Amino acid sequence: MKKILVMLCVVAMVLSSVTGVTAGPLLAGEITHIVKPGETLFSIARLYGVDVSTLARANHILNPNHIYVGQRLVIPAQPAPPPAGVYVVKAGDTLYSIARYYGTTAWAIAQANGIYNLNYIYIGQRLVIPGVAPAPTPQPSGSTGWLGEYFNVADLSGAPVFTRNDAAVNFFWGLRSPDTRLNTDHFSVRWTRTINFRGGLYRFKITVDDGARLWVDGILVLDQWRVQSQATYQVDLTLSAGNHAVVIEYFDDTDNATIQFSFTRLGNAPVATVTPTPTATPDAAAPAEAWLGEYFGNPELSGKPVVTRLDAQIGFNWGLGSPVGGLPENYFGVRWTRKAFFYEDNYAFCAMADDGVRLYVDGVRVMDEWHGANAQSYCVQVDLAKGVHTVMVEYYEDGGNALIYVWWERR
């Protein structure tokens, strides 16, 4: 009899160590899960939106790879969602578990937070939950969505396979198709929307893989229609108050498919003025809030400028036309100068030009792309001390389209 009791005790101890579950009442908000065939501790944790290590600790499981069919697991209670509708990512969270917790979709959260890759979030990241809190940046008034036309060819030709309304142009399809009716490669999309803007200076930004074009009021303001890895482009435009038509065109060649569009109002834009006679010289002092533009009737920027004026920003797409009366449509040049305040830091100075561009900081040439080009983009990095610095940009047009954009960003 004594031997039988000892054997029963040993069996009980073994079973207790295998199950890993201690007896006791459930706490408030806790539930139990009975393990089914094919389940793992990781899949169960994902199902309930809990951290694997938390689930293992709650059930005293030393080896997360060892659970068995029929085992009863305690699922720890989860805290209530933050009242402000902003969720802070914790260890073990995935976009899918967070979406399940709030009763929404992973894609809805990704779009609300500008996330391209649904598999990449990080601990401490603050996620706005759509439907729980308002969007972080209110959109201008006007139509509330984009009319998307989806084509099964890469050049937007023929009739679209289907059309639909998209809340935002913010997609990371990866190697997948946007829709079962569309190819996984060699497709294109055109989005159209009318937006009511406040008057001022706006920065438009597009992240794309492969090609994209941006039109505002029928004018092509950004042209990156080519096969390329993921890249980001931006252009600054001065818009009058009222409705403006915005069109985004996109194509995917092969591999990853990505397109994201956004814009930000930078502030009020100063009004450009033109002097009746050329009075400025290249050594004239630059204004603090605008560019002093000197427009020459030759690509060498030699002699006196034909026209001088103040430009709110260097952001022009003249196409086949002339920048200003008195200048030829081809073979002209421009020099812009201004003073700007910078913090002590590393800055990226960027330009997109058709054709040549040079950029100087405090008289030092930091960018030299003085050659024919078809809307090419360039960036250089410059370390600056805190204070006011002089920036000068030189540009020439060699024939055909004329385009120049210049900007800088603190790294």
201/258 same-domain check: yes
> Are 75 and 61 contacting, i.e. CB atoms less than 8 angstroms apart?
no
Question: Cα–chain-centroid distance for residue 168?
Answer: 12
191/260 same-domain check: yes
Distances (CA, A) of 104 to 108, 130, 179: 7, 8, 20
156/116 same-domain check: no
Phi-psi region of 158 (alpha: psi -120 to 50; beta: other; left: phi over 0): left
Query: What's at 244, amino acid-wise?
Result: H
Residue 276 scores a pLDDT above 60: no
pLDDT at residue 368, as a whole number: 92
- Evaluate whether residue 282 is within a structural domain: no
Distances (CA, A) of 241 to 70, 199, 202: 66, 4, 12
Return the closest-CA partner of residue 238 out of 137, 310, 141.
310
Residue 405 scores a pLDDT above 50: yes
- The percent of residues above 90 in pLDDT, for the chain, comes to 22
- The percent of residues above 70 in pLDDT, for the chain, comes to 80
> How many independent structural domains does the chain possess?
4
69/100 same-domain check: no
191 or 39: whose pLDDT is higher?
191
- Evaluate whether residue 257 is within a structural domain: yes
For residue 117, what are the domain limits?
86-128
Minimum mean pLDDT range among 13-27, 59-73, 212-226: 13-27
> Are 200 and 240 contacting, i.e. CB atoms less than 8 angstroms apart?
no
Question: Quick one: average pLDDT of 200-215?
Answer: 90
- Evaluate whether residue 80 is within a structural domain: no
pLDDT at residue 144, as a whole number: 62
The CATH number of residue 123's host domain is 3.10.350.10
Name the pLDDT band for 142 (thresholds 50, 70, 90).
very low
> Are 404 and 374 contacting, i.e. CB atoms less than 8 angstroms apart?
no
Can you tell me the distance from the alpha carbon of 195 to that of 317, in angstroms, rounded to the nearest whole number? 21
96/33 same-domain check: no
- Evaluate whether residue 134 is within a structural domain: no
323/210 same-domain check: no
115/181 same-domain check: no
259/372 same-domain check: no
| Average pLDDT of the chain to the nearest whole number | 78
pLDDT digits (tens, 9 = 90+) for 4-27: 544 544 444 444 444 434 334 445
pLDDT at residue 50, as a whole number: 73
Residue 139 scores a pLDDT above 70: no
- Evaluate whether residue 280 is within a structural domain: no
- Evaluate whether residue 30 is within a structural domain: yes
Residue 362 scores a pLDDT above 80: yes
pLDDT at residue 116, as a whole number: 63
Query: What's at 194, amino acid-wise?
Result: T
pLDDT at residue 258, as a whole number: 92
> Are 22 and 31 contacting, i.e. CB atoms less than 8 angstroms apart?
no
Can you tell me the distance from the alpha carbon of 391 to that of 358, in angstroms, rounded to the nearest whole number? 11
249 or 379: whose pLDDT is higher?
249
The CATH number of residue 206's host domain is 2.60.120.260
124/165 same-domain check: no
258/336 same-domain check: no
What's the alpha-carbon Rg for the chain, to the nearest Å? 30
Token digits of residue 84: 């402000």
pLDDT at residue 367, as a whole number: 92
123/161 same-domain check: no
- Evaluate whether residue 141 is within a structural domain: no
pTM over 0.75: no
Q: Return all residues near 65 (Cβ < 8 A) that are at least 6 apart.
A: 40, 41
pLDDT digits (tens, 9 = 90+) for 281-303: 333 444 456 788 899 999 999 99
Question: Quick one: average pLDDT of 126-133?
Answer: 69
pLDDT digits (tens, 9 = 90+) for 328-350: 888 999 999 998 888 888 888 88
- Evaluate whether residue 285 is within a structural domain: no
123/225 same-domain check: no
